[in-house]
Every structure is written in structure tokens, then in C-alpha cells.
């Protein structure tokens, strides 16, 4: 009889662990790493049984559950009290990073990202490893891989893309004014996880310059023939 209550406690803790993990992750991003975050819209309840459907009003949403809605992207913050309040009221909400957003006058900006389909992403990571390119954190879903990079300007990105002979439409850049779901969020694209996890510690993870990865990701997409238009 003594084992039954303990077993129940373990089962209940597993059920609640996803919610507590999301809150803990959001607080780490906001307060330890100074990355502005906000809650995502999440999936509609019916979507979990009858197929993927976003909780937002758009029936054709292309990033179900993985984007800001209310509050909007400009509400992203590093304020601990606000982050705790958001996830206390919406414990299942995905954690959304406002890419390239300012973290404060003296604290710099949040990282940006370059993302591509999973197959090409695995090829790009292998090529970057062979070239001894130092990478920071890499995020993955079953569908895509996102390489976090240092903040960049639109002018800087434009020069890099102009130098390419061809830029596949499936390559996405998450810069200032953009967003990205962070682990351990659950979205319509599946569970968000670390493909390359940040090193443990309280400081914000280091990220490479975007120049260091663009050639490899474009080459990987070209070689795998992944050139469908961006969704």
C-alpha cells in the first residue's frame, strides 16, 4: 500500500512537468539570458485530437501554435514578474523569442536565427562541423532546424544574400521584428527541442555571426533540392 501513493505522485509530477518546464524555461531566457520572450498562441484544444489547428482566428495559419497573438510581439520582455504572470495564467503557452529585439540600453539584443528544413539542416550542420565553424545553440522541430546567430541588420543580410547565386525560398531569416519558438514548446510543427543545447551556466549563450553560416545553409538547400517557397 505504501508504494501506491508514491506511484501516484510520480504520475502526477510527470503530468505537470511540461507546464513547470515551460515556466522555468521562460524565466531562464528572460532573466538569466536577457532574451525578450512572450507567450505564443498555442494550439486549439480540438486540434490535438482532430489534427493541428492554431488557436488564432486564421483558419489557414501556417505556423500553428508558434506565434504571438495576444499580447503582440512588441510586448516581449525580460521582466520576471510579467513572465511569471503570463505563464501562471497560460501554463501551456509556447515560449516565443522576439528575435533581434533590444534587451535594454546596456544589455544588447536578443539573438537572431537562420532556419531551414530538417534534412537540409542536418546537412548544413555537418558541413559547418567539417569546416570547424563554432556554433552556438541550434533549435529543432521534426520539420525544421534553426541556427541561432548574433543580431544582424537588414543591410548586412541584404549584402550576404546579394552575393549568393541563388537563395532557396525555404530558407528563412528570423531577424529584428521576427520570432521563434524556443524549447520545450509544443507547436503544430511538433515539439521544439535543442539540437545543439546551450552550455550550462547563467550567462547568455554565445552565437556566431550570420556570415559564418549563410554559405553552408544555402549550399545544403541547393544540394538537397529544397527550394519550395517560404510558408
Contact 176, 99 (CB under 8 A): yes
Convert the pLDDT of each residue in 45-90 to its tens digit.
764 445 788 999 999 999 999 999 999 999 999 999 999 999 999 9
Convert the pLDDT of each residue in 122-132 to its tens digit.
999 999 999 99
For the chain, the structural domain boundaries read: 3-224
Using alpha carbons, select from 83, 187, 180 the residue that is nearest to residue 138: 180
| Three-state secondary-structure class, residue 120 | helix
d(C-alpha 95, C-alpha 100), whole Å: 16
pLDDT at 229 over 50: no
pLDDT at 1 over 50: no
Say what angle helices 3-27 and 80-89 make with each other, to 10 degrees: 130
Residue 151: predicted pLDDT: 94
Confidence of residue 202 (pLDDT cuts 50, 70, 90): confident
Which three three-digit cell numbers place residue 230?
517560404
Amino acid at each position: 500500500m505504501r508504494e501506491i501513493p508514491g506511484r501516484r505522485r510520480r504520475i502526477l509530477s510527470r503530468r505537470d512537468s511540461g507546464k513547470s518546464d515551460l515556466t522555468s524555461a521562460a524565466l531562464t531566457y528572460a532573466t538569466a539570458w536577457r532574451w525578450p520572450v512572450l507567450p505564443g498562441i498555442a494550439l486549439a484544444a480540438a486540434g490535438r485530437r482532430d489534427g493541428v489547428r492554431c488557436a488564432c482566428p486564421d483558419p489557414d495559419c501556417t505556423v500553428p501554435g508558434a506565434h504571438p497573438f495576444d499580447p503582440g510581439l512588441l510586448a516581449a520582455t525580460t521582466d520576471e514578474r510579467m513572465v511569471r504572470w503570463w505563464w501562471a495564467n497560460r501554463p501551456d503557452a509556447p515560449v516565443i523569442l522576439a528575435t533581434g529585439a533590444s534587451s535594454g540600453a546596456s544589455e544588447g539584443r536578443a539573438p537572431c536565427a537562420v532556419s531551414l528544413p530538417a534534412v537540409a539542416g542536418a546537412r548544413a550542420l555537418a558541413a559547418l562541423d567539417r569546416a570547424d565553424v563554432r556554433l552556438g545553440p541550434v533549435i529543432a522541430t521534426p520539420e525544421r532546424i534553426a541556427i541561432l546567430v548574433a543580431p544582424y541588420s537588414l543591410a548586412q543580410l541584404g549584402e550576404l544574400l546579394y552575393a549568393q547565386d541563388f537563395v532557396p525560398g525555404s530558407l528563412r531569416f528570423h531577424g529584428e521584428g521576427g520570432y521563434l519558438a524556443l524549447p520545450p514548446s509544443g507547436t503544430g510543427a511538433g515539439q521544439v527541442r535543442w539540437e545543439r543545447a546551450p552550455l550550462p551556466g547563467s550567462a547568455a549563450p554565445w552565437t556566431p555571426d550570420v556570415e559564418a553560416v549563410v554559405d553552408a545553409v544555402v549550399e545544403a538547400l541547393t544540394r538537397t533540392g529544397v527550394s519550395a517557397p517560404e510558408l
